[in-house]
């Protein structure tokens, strides 16, 4: 009987298979079907059927990590590897990529070193596979050390006038910060406010002569025409005292990727949401997270883990923890995410000390730190201003492992070369971990390639040995141009590679 049933099921399965000739099967698959039926193993039958290939397949797709990129001329770009869902057989691009960049004809990878500045252009990459073709577009711009757009001067590169307080003017902008989407926040020091610019406005304004306007204002009752100190928020543009909405000459700003604003607001840092009409929800530096009515240095008392004096640059790590330059206390504090009490201190042996170069200038001392930034590995960089150096700390170690601007950890000399600094102020790090330093006293911004303590690029000067204000390629003051700087304090690089410099002395933000 068993033999009879086996023969019966064999002919039945064979007949069923013959009815669907468009799905070829190997002899092994037929035997698997037969074995599944004769052994009563339904799971095996389902498994075999689900892995059977068919004539239908997904269409080829291709994309790059970002839709737009800005690369530096004469600097090797990070490799752009596309994401594809099939094996690619060939690739092409139209129009031709900027000179120096190459598309791999087999993998669609883009590599190379651009050799000349170019305007933004869209490039269409076509990938081919056995199933057909797919295209994607990517925007590429090659930047140089000459600015292509300006904020705060109605699109003009040759003016530095203040004008009336408005949504398109600035008064000593001290800090600038771009988020991952290309939106921008600026601490407008002289106008006692924080301004916010959308990526759309900035993108539309990346061209000479275009007036880029802010869309939000913090600290001045939503008014772009008021510049009161500690605005009293009673409906008039009147000086007042500290509260959860106002500020006095903000020295720094940090914009996170959720649109939250961290603003220095007079010996404290206020945290605002993306809704500029709402009051701050948290304050750092005034003992508790809700003490919004005090702005006294060290809360009028002694130095502790939750007081500050003269806040400069701030930065967030990947966990949401806050780094804060507590400059007059000669230290940098780290606050775990959600806490307004510091858990780690750089530059001092404990939370109650505040002496400059405590114990002497060394790898663990600081004197008026003003800048802080983190690289992709979580390493910390601090601008040790009065010691004319940048210190790099590995992980959570509070002893520096690398020094920029000095030959060793025990010197503090100034200089104007590719390896020296004069009053460095704020920092930024791009997606390739290149370090940007505003060298305030030398009126320039230096770029140090990842892992190098010798600058490879300079903004604001025609050479590494010039430190004059408002030069135009030669070491001579020629007036305000797209090439010069005057005591820059802030710098930021967005996810796409656009560089923003707060040209404080010229009352403007330059975009490169």
**Which pLDDT score, from 0 to 100, does residue 205 have?**
83
For residues 333-349, average pLDDT: 98
| Of 274, 118, 95, nearest in space to 206 by CA | 118
Residue 319 has pLDDT above 70, yes or no: yes
pLDDT beyond 70 at 206: yes
Is 510:147 a contact under the CB 8 Å cutoff?
yes
Cβ proximity of 63 and 136 under 8 Å:
yes
Using DSSP's 3-state secondary structure scheme, residue 385 falls into helix
Q: How sure is the predictor about 16, in pLDDT bands with cuts at 50, 70 and 90?
A: very low
**Residue 209 banded pLDDT, cuts 50, 70, 90:** confident
Confidence of residue 473 (pLDDT cuts 50, 70, 90): confident
Q: What is the mean pLDDT of residues 3-29?
A: 40
pLDDT for residue 31: 32
Reported as a single tens digit per residue, the pLDDT across 125-167 is 999 999 999 999 999 999 999 999 999 999 999 999 988 999 9
Residue 25 has pLDDT above 60, yes or no: no
Q: Cα angle at 364 between 362 and 365, to 5 degrees?
A: 70
Phi, psi of 224 (to 5 degrees): -85, -5
pLDDT tens digit sequence for 187-203: 999 999 999 999 999 98
CB contact at 8 A, 425 and 383:
yes
Statement: residue 443 has pLDDT above 90: yes
Residue 407's region, left for phi above 0, alpha for psi from -120 to 50, else beta, is: alpha
pLDDT attached to residue 216: 97
Q: What is the pLDDT of residue 26?
A: 36
pTM of the model: 0.87
Q: Is residue 448 over pLDDT 90?
A: yes
Report the distance separating Cα 187 and Cα 242, nearest Å: 17
Which residues, 6+ apart, have CB-to-CB distance to 442 below 8 Å? 416, 421, 422, 423, 461, 467
Residue 404: pLDDT band (50, 70, 90) is very high
Q: What was the pLDDT predicted at 4?
A: 42
**What pLDDT band is residue 207 in, cutting at 50, 70 and 90?**
confident
- Burial of 489: CB neighbours in 10 Å, binned 0-12, 13-18, 19+: buried
| DSSP string across 194-228 | EEEE-HHHHHHH-STT-----SEEESSTT-TT---
Q: Whole-angstrom Cα distance, residue 370 to residue 354?
A: 15
* pLDDT band (50, 70, 90) for residue 23: very low
In 3D space, the residue among 233, 255, 251 whose CA is nearest the CA of residue 242 turns out to be 233
Give the three-state DSSP class for 31. Answer: helix
Residue 449 CA to residue 359 CA, distance in Å, equals 32
Q: What percent of the chain has pLDDT over 90?
A: 86
Model confidence at 57: pLDDT above 80: no
- pLDDT at 6 exceeding the cut of 90: no
Q: Quickly state the pLDDT bin for 505 (edges 50, 70, 90).
A: very high
Name, of 43-47, 203-207, 286-290, the range with top average pLDDT: 286-290
Name the nearest CA neighbour of 510 among 91, 155, 165, 259: 155
As a whole number of angstroms, the distance between CA 113 and CA 106 comes to 20
List residues bridging with 70 in a β-sheet: 141
The residue among 278 and 52 whose pLDDT is bigger is 278
pLDDT digits (tens, 9 = 90+) for 83-141: 999 999 999 999 999 999 999 999 999 999 999 999 999 999 999 999 999 999 999 99
């Amino acid at each position: 009987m068993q033999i009879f049933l086996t023969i019966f099921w064999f002919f039945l399965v064979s007949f069923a298979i013959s009815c669907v000739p468009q799905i070829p099967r190997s002899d092994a698959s037929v035997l698997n079907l037969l074995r599944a039926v004769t052994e009563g193993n339904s799971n095996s039958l389902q498994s075999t059927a689900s892995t059977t290939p068919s004539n239908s397949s997904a269409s080829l797709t291709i994309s790059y990590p970002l839709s737009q990129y800005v690369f530096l001329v004469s600097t090797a770009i990070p490799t752009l590897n596309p994401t594809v869902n099939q094996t690619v057989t060939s690739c092409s691009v139209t129009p031709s990529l900027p000179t120096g960049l190459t598309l791999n004809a087999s993998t669609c990878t883009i590599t190379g070193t651009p050799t000349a500045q170019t305007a933004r252009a869209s490039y269409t990459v076509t990938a081919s596979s056995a199933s057909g073709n797919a295209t994607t577009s990517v925007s590429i711009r090659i930047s140089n050390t000459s600015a292509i757009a300006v904020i705060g001067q109605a699109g003009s590169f040759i003016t530095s006038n203040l004008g009336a307080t408005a949504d398109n003017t600035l008064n000593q902008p001290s800090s600038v910060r771009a988020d991952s989407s290309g939106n921008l926040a600026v601490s407008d020091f002289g106008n006692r406010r924080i301004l916010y610019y959308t990526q759309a406005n900035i993108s539309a304004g990346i061209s000479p002569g275009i007036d880029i306007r802010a869309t939000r204002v913090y600290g001045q009752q939503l008014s772009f025409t008021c510049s009161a100190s500690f605005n009293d928020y009673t409906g008039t543009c009147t000086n007042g005292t500290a509260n959860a909405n106002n500020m006095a000459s903000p020295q720094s700003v940090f914009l996170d990727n959720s649109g939250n604003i961290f603003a220095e607001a007079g010996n404290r840092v206020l945290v605002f949401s993306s809704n500029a009409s709402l009051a701050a929800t948290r304050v750092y530096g005034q003992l508790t997270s809700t003490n919004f009515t005090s702005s006294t240095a060290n809360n009028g008392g002694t130095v502790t883990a939750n007081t500050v004096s003269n806040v400069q640059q701030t930065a967030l790590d990947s966990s949401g923890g806050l780094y804060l330059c507590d400059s007059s206390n000669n230290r940098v504090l780290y606050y775990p995410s959600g806490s307004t009490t510091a858990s780690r201190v750089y530059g001092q042996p404990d939370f109650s000390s505040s002496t400059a170069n405590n114990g002497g200038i060394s790898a663990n001392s600081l004197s008026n730190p003003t800048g802080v930034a983190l690289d992709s590995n979580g390493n910390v960089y601090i601008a040790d201003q009065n010691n004319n150096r940048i210190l790099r700390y590995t992980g959570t170690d509070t002893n520096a492992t690398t020094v920029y601007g000095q030959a060793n950890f025990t010197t503090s000399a100034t200089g104007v070369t590719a390896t020296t600094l004069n009053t460095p102020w704020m920092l930024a790090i791009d997606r390739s971990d290149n370090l940007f330093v505003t060298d305030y006293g030398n009126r320039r911004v230096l770029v140090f390639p990842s892992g190098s303590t010798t600058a490879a690029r300079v903004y604001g000067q025609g050479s590494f040995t010039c430190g004059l204000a408002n030069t135009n390629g030669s070491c001579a003051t020629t007036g305000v141009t797209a090439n010069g700087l005057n005591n820059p304090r802030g710098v930021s690089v967005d996810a796409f590679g656009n560089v923003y410099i707060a040209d404080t002395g010229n009352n403007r933000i330059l975009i490169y």
